[in-house]
Each structure stands twice: as C-alpha cells, then as structure tokens.
Structure 1
Amino acid sequence: MDQSFHEAKYTVKDVSEITGLTKHTIRYYDDQQLIPFVSRDGRNIRLFSDHDLDWLRMVHSLRISGLPISEVKHYIDMCLQGDDTIPQRAELIAKQEEELEAKIREYNLQLMHIKKKKAYYASVSKGQQDDAWNPVNNKSECGEKYEIPEHIMTH
C-alpha cells in the first residue's frame, strides 16, 4: 500500500472542509476512539491521513444510519480484530439495514401524509374548501382518524 495513504497531513479544519462534517463531530468521533489511528503533532494537534478519512467515512455512515456509538465502537473493535470477525460484522450490518429500511418505510408514510396536508392547505388557501382539519374548528372530519380497537370502544 502507498505510504502516503497513511501519512498524516490533514488538520481537523481540513477534514471538516473535505467531508462537510463539523469540527465538533470530527473531534467527537476521535475522542470516542472511533478513528483508531489518528496522529498528533508535537503540539497535540490532530493530524489525519487519507486512511483516517476512510475510517471517518465508515463511522459517519454507520452513525447516520442510526447505529448507536456503542455499536459503532463494537464494529470498529471487530474490524481491528481482523477477518475472523467478518461474520459478526456482516450480521451487525444486516441488522442495521433492516432497521434503516423500517425507518425509511415510516418516513415514506409520514412524507405521504405531509404531501396530502400540503395539497389540502393549498386547496384551503385558494378558498376551494373550509379548514375542516383544524381541531380548533371542532369539525367531525378533522383529518385522518385513529382506528379505535373494539375492546376500547365498548368501555
């Protein structure tokens, strides 16, 4: 592997500009030991290599997917242990994929509701209908209703 790939050459400010991450986030990831090989110069300034940027990209991707810091640390530890942990890493990633897909389904459902409301308010704004969805107006057709389970309705 090219030695320059491991040569420490970027400051936190540089890494922030390169990645778009805040300096605070970069320092936090390093403080949490999620980027295992970050160097420091004689003045204790963090210096990152291209290799460190690869770790950072992976860590940030896992965090954005919703993986908790503790699980990211566990994943990093497994990476550092080598190929023997590939099955466990694959399992962790598969589980995170399932969780992320569930979140995406929920977000898509919420986006659909928001789009309906946006169209509704465009119609109300043009005077094409009254604002029946505002609970303040006490209208029975106030948007989508909760489905009340039978056992609760019989109370």
Structure 2
Amino acid sequence: MKGGFSIKEVAKLTGLSEHTLRFYEKQQLIKNISRDENGYRIYSDFDIEWIHFLIKVKNTGMPLNELQKYSELMAQGNPTLPEREKMLLQHRKRVENEISDLEITLTKIDEKLDRYHHLMQELNLL
C-alpha cells in the first residue's frame, strides 16, 4: 500500500487483532488515522511506533483512563511534554515497585523449591 499500512498489515506488525486496533481507535488511544479515498484506514510509521508504545505501557499495567489521557496529551503536541513526562515518571515508579515485589516473590519461590529439593533428597525421591 503506497504511503502507509493497512489495518491488516498493522495487525501483523503489532500482534494486535484488527478488532483491537478499531477498539483502540474508538477508545481514543489511537488518533487521527488517515483514510484513503475508499475510507480504509492508512497507518503511518508513527502510528505503528505509537501502537507499540501503547502495548508496552498497557502490558505494564497502565490503566485505560491514563492511557487515554496520555494519548490526548500526545495529540496536543509539545506543550504537554511536562505533563506527559510526569505521567511516565509516575508509571515508571509503579513498574519499579511491581518489579521489586516480583523479585521478593521469586526469592520466596526459590526458597520453597530449595526446601523441596532438600526434603526429596532426604526421602530419596530424587
């Protein structure tokens, strides 16, 4: 497709379904998607980068309302950089805390596995 990507191509590039891409657009997470003369969506390289970013922050637990707010700020351009930075710094802190909690949990799991291993050795179950 000249000058952009079809929704089918973007679905393949991002791993999202066409339905999800339409949902993201309806939820105002993806904005200003161009249309061709037949009304079909035409995604730009920027749109694809943006979708990849959305996937990443969504996968780290950013709530839908925050994703929508961030998307709206993005659409407003550079004057919103300080507010976007603040949002990402807050989200980064939440992700850091979650990683810390997961590391603690992983340590507890490892301790339990070590205990099982020693018990199985004592019981000749290995």
Identity between Structure 1 and Structure 2 (%): 29
SS at match of 2:32: coil
The alpha carbon displacement at 1:23 in A equals: 4.2
For residues 36-115 of structure 1, what are the structure 2 equivalents within 5 Å?
A: 36-40=31-35, 42=38, 45-115=40-110
Moved over 4 A (4+): none
Between 1 and 2, higher relative CO (CA 8 Å, sep ≥ 6) is seen in: 2
Please say if 1:16 is aligned against 2:7: no
Partner residue, 1:33: 28
Q: TM-score, normalised by structure 2?
A: 0.79
Question: 8 Å contact 2:7–2:18 — kept in the other structure?
Answer: no
Q: Deviations over 1:13-46 (max 9, x none)?
A: x22322233444333322212111223453x554
- Alignment partners' CA distance in 1, 2:26 and 2:114: 46
- Alignment partners' CA distance in 2, 1:22 and 1:107: 30
Structure 1 unaligned spans of 5+: 130-155
The alpha carbon displacement at 1:58 in A equals: 1.9
Structure 2 unaligned spans of 5+: none
Looking at secondary structure, tell me which structure has more helix per residue: 2
- Alignment partners' CA distance in 2, 1:115 and 1:79: 42
Question: 8 Å contact 1:39–1:47 — kept in the other structure?
Answer: yes
